[in-house]
Amino acid sequence: MFSRLGKKLTSFPIFPFQNLERQNVLCAMVDFSSKDITNPWIFSKILFLHFLKFPYFVDLKRPDKRGIKGCKNFYIKVNEKVTLGAWQTLPADLLEGDSSQLNSGHPIILYLHGRAGTRAQPHRIELYKVLSSMNFHVIAIDYRGFGDSSGTPTEEGVLEDTYRTYKWIRDRSDKVPLYIWGHSLGSAISTNLLKHLNQKVSDDHIIPVQCGRELHNKVEHYRKGRSYTMYKEFDKHLGYRHCEIYKDPELPTIIRNFMKMCVEKK
C-alpha cells in the first residue's frame, strides 16, 4: 500500500505484502486453544508478532552499521508511556551535506512495516536505499513494542503511533509532499491512519494476489475514477515473493508515475 497525503488522502494496492516464515506463525499458535486466542494479550502477540525482534543482536542506534548511508536514529515521544524508535534516511542529494531537515524540499515517505522484526530487517533496509536513491526522505518507525520502542501494540495504540509520527513529520516539513508506504500489516495500519486523518502479487505466498486485485477493483468502483489508484502485478517468475520488489529495476519508474498522477489529479 502506497499513499499520498495532500488535499485528498488516498491509497492504492500496488505492492505485495511482507514475508513471514510460516513456521513462526505455527510456533506462535501451536499451544493456544480458541479460548486462549480471545485473550487480548495473546491475540496481540499473534497479530503483531512483535516479540520476534529479528534481526537479533543489532544496535538500532547505529543504522550506519547496517550499511545505510545518511541514516540517523532518533526517537518520537507518543505519550508518557510510549516512545518510538525511528530512522531517517536522507535523499541522495543530501548525503554529502550536513542537512537532515525535512523541509529541504525533497518529498517524504513514511514507511510502515509489517508484523514481526524491526526497522533493521534486510529487505526493509534495501527499500530505504532505493527510495533514498530517488531523493526521498524516508522515515521508518517501529510501532510500540517493536524493536526498541516501548509499550505493547494494540490496534488503537499503533494508530496513535502513526498519527503522532505523521504530526511529528508535518510539524517539521511544512507543505513538502508526504507519502505513506504500508507493507503487509502496515497496509492495514496505513489505511486506518488515512481514515483517521480524513475524519478530522501472483507469487506472494502470504497474501493471495486475488486479494490485491479485488481491493483495487473495489476502490475504483466506489470512487468512480476519483481515486489516485494504480495497480501493478509482478510476474511470479521474477521471484520477488513477499518482500523483495525492491529488486525490480522498474520500481523507481512505477513510483514516479504514481506521484506524477497524484500531482496531475490535484
User: Could you give the C-alpha distances from 5 to 46, 53, 184, 194, in angstroms and in order?
Assistant: 31, 30, 19, 8
For the cut 80, the answer to whether the pLDDT of residue 130 exceeds it is yes
Please, are residues 194 and 9 in contact by the beta-carbon 8 Å criterion? yes
Of 184, 187, 190, 216, which one is the catalytic site residue?
184
User: Could you give the C-alpha distances from 216 to 19, 157, 240, in angstroms and in order?
Assistant: 21, 27, 20
Please, are residues 71 and 89 in contact by the beta-carbon 8 Å criterion? yes
Please, are residues 84 and 165 in contact by the beta-carbon 8 Å criterion? yes
Cell reading at 81: 508511556
Of 142, 148, 161, 204, which one is the catalytic site residue?
204
For the cut 50, the answer to whether the pLDDT of residue 238 exceeds it is yes
User: Could you give the C-alpha distances from 154 to 159, 163, 168, in angstroms and in order?
Assistant: 8, 14, 21
Tell me the per-residue pLDDT of 73-117, one tens digit each, with 9 for 90 and over: 999 999 999 999 999 999 999 987 766 789 889 999 999 999 999
Q: Which domains does the chain have, with CATH numbers?
A: 2-265 (3.40.50.1820)
- Calpha distance 137→4 (Å, rounded): 14
Please, are residues 72 and 87 in contact by the beta-carbon 8 Å criterion? yes
Grouping H, G, I as helix, E, B as strand and the rest as coil, residue 111 is strand
Please, are residues 77 and 182 in contact by the beta-carbon 8 Å criterion? no
Averaged pLDDT score across all residues of the chain:
80
| Residue 149 bears catalytic tag | no
| Residue 204 bears catalytic tag | yes
Task: Give the E-state strand segments of 13-66 in sequence order.
Answer: none
| Residue 98 bears catalytic tag | no
Strands 137-141 and 108-112: parallel
Tell me the per-residue pLDDT of 206-231, one tens digit each, with 9 for 90 and over: 445 566 666 656 666 666 656 667 77
Cell reading at 5: 497525503
Reported as a pLDDT band with limits 50, 70 and 90, residue 36 is: low
Reported as a pLDDT band with limits 50, 70 and 90, residue 134 is: very high
- Calpha distance 266→263 (Å, rounded): 5
Q: Which residue has the higher pLDDT, 225 or 123?
A: 123
Q: Which residue has the higher pLDDT, 258 or 169?
A: 169
Determine which helix (DSSP H) or strand (DSSP E) holds 5, and give its type and residue range.
strand 2-5
Beta bridge partners of residue 37, listed in sequence order: none
Mean pLDDT (whole number) for 200-205: 50
Of 106, 183, 216, 242, which one is the catalytic site residue?
242
pLDDT at 108 (0 to 100): 95
Reported as a pLDDT band with limits 50, 70 and 90, residue 196 is: confident
Sign of torsion over alpha carbons 245, 111, 229, 105:
negative
Q: Which residue has the higher pLDDT, 212 or 48?
A: 48
For cell 510476474, name the residue.
235
- What is the phi-psi region of residue 49: left when phi exceeds 0, alpha when psi lies from -120 to 50, beta otherwise? left
Strands 137-141 and 83-89: antiparallel
pLDDT at 67 (0 to 100): 94
